[in-house]
Structure 1
Amino acid sequence: MKEVILKKAGDTFLKLGFKSVTMDDIANELGISKKTIYKYFKNKADLVDETTFYMHEAMHKEALKIYNLGYNAIQENFEVNKVFKGFMQNLDDSPLYQLQKYYPETHQKIMSQEYCLFKDCLLSNIEKGIKEGLYRKEIMIDQVTKFYFSLIMSVHDSNLYTYSKNTINKLELNVLEYHTRAIATEKGIKILEEQLKLNNI
């Protein structure tokens, strides 16, 4: 039952926002009493905390599957982007920004975990791309990783961007293009252009 609540809470928070959704809303969505939710979660902050880590884990499990499918490094990044797009589809606000604003402790924890996972995956991707001749050998991998992470996170700052439906998805693809152009070889740029056409950019 706990996992059922986490999944529904995750869908509801993503759809309506962390601030506006109440425990009553989630109970109604599930057709259960609020007491049932309180059996597993002390309060809304506790539910937000566990739901955030549940969603984070689910997204990364799906993303990690991509790395075993034999894509080249550039295709790989676009396929991983599709996974995150699936979770964030049609959002007109950034859940990460809401989390930072209303549940800063949860946001801080998730960002710390996110950077570690992101760094490991990106380092692996860059090393693969260099071996494939798609990324330049002389790039400073540690700096590139930090640059890309900073750019991706900036997409979720509503002080910088005004959101409407799919804005986040489009911005993340733009960041991926920017990142790839910065480190790609001529061979890599050709594959990037193919991916941009496939993704209608």
Structure 2
Amino acid sequence: MKETILDKTGEIFLKFGFKSVTMDDIANDLGISKKTLYKHFKNKEDLVDQAIISFHEKCLEKINCICAIGHNAIEENFEVKKIFKDLLQTSDESPMFQLKKYYPKTYDKVMVKEFEEFQACIVRNIENGINEGLYRKNIKKSVVSRFYFALIFSVHDDNLFTYKKNTINQLEIDVLEFYTRAISTPKGIKELEKQLAKLNNN
């Protein structure tokens, strides 16, 4: 039961935000009583903390599965991006911005894990892309991976962007295109254009 609650709640928070969703909303959405919720979680803060950590771990599992398929480096990044598409539809505020604002301890915990795991994935992706002739050989892998990390999370800052439906998803695609163009060879640019065309046709 607890695992089911965590799975569903993580998706609810990311779709509708952390501020507006109440324990009543969650209980009603899951078809359980508030008493059942409080049996497993001390309060909303505890539920947010556990749900987001659980969601993060499951996303990492999905990413690792995609990476094991054998896509080229650029296609792999676009396939990974698809994982988050349906979860970034909030209309008025970025869920990550809300997490930082209302649950800073959980946000800091998640960001530490994100940075460690995200950087490792991107560095490996860059190495593969260089070997495939898609990325330039003279890339400073550690620096570039940090640039990408900073760019991706900048789109969740409400001080920089105003949101409406699907804004965050499109901004993340824009970041991915910008990043890929910056490090690609001519061969890589062709593959990027192919992936963008595929995305636009779906």
Could you tell me the TM-score, scaled by structure 1's length?
0.96
Query: Could you report, residue by residue, the CA deviation over 1:64-113 in whole angstroms, capped at 9, with x for unpaired residues?
Result: 1111111110111111111121332x222311100000000000000000
Structure 1 contact 73–129 (Cα < 8 Å) conserved: yes
Instruction: Name the % identity.
Output: 59
Does residue 91 of the first structure (1) align with residue 55 of the second (2)? no
Alpha-carbon offset, residue 146 of structure 1:
0.6
What's 1:187 paired with?
Answer: 187
Does residue 105 of the first structure (1) align with residue 105 of the second (2)? yes
Structure 2 contact 16–95 (Cα < 8 Å) conserved: no
Give the whole-Å Cα distance in 1 for the aligned partners of 2:145 and 2:44. 34
Residues 55-64 or 101-110, more deviating: 55-64
Alpha-carbon offset, residue 39 of structure 1:
1.1
Alpha-carbon offset, residue 15 of structure 1:
2.8
Query: Could you report, residue by residue, the CA deviation over 1:134-183 in whole angstroms, capped at 9, with x for unpaired residues?
Result: 10111111110110000001010011001111101100010001101110
Give the whole-Å Cα distance in 2 for the aligned partners of 1:107 and 1:158. 15
Letter of the structure 1 residue corresponding to residue 191 of structure 2: I
Give the whole-Å Cα distance in 1 for the aligned partners of 2:78 and 2:31. 38
What's 2:116 paired with?
Answer: 116
Structure 1 contact 53–110 (Cα < 8 Å) conserved: yes
Counterparts of 1:38-187 in structure 2, within 5 Å, are: 38-88=38-88, 90-92=89-91, 93-187=93-187
What's 1:6 paired with?
Answer: 6
Structure 1 contact 115–149 (Cα < 8 Å) conserved: yes
Letter of the structure 1 residue corresponding to residue 176 of structure 2: L
Letter of the structure 2 residue corresponding to residue 79 of structure 1: E
CA RMSD of aligned residues (A): 1.2
Could you tell me the TM-score, scaled by structure 2's length?
0.95
Residue segments in structure 2 that go unaligned for 5+ positions in a row: none
Give the whole-Å Cα distance in 2 for the aligned partners of 1:122 and 1:198. 22
Structure 1 contact 59–87 (Cα < 8 Å) conserved: no
Give the whole-Å Cα distance in 1 for the aligned partners of 2:87 and 2:29. 19
Residue segments in structure 1 that go unaligned for 5+ positions in a row: none
Residues 90-99 or 148-157, more deviating: 90-99
Structure 2 contact 90–164 (Cα < 8 Å) conserved: yes
Alpha-carbon offset, residue 11 of structure 1:
2.6
Alpha-carbon offset, residue 3 of structure 1:
1.1
Give the whole-Å Cα distance in 2 for the aligned partners of 1:56 and 1:71. 22
Give the whole-Å Cα distance in 1 for the aligned partners of 2:73 and 2:185. 12
Could you list the structure 1 runs, at least 4 aligned residues long, displaced by more than 6 angstroms after superposition. none
Describe the SS at the equivalent of 1:161. coil
Residues 1-10 or 138-147, more deviating: 1-10
What's 1:17 paired with?
Answer: 17
What's 2:196 paired with?
Answer: 196
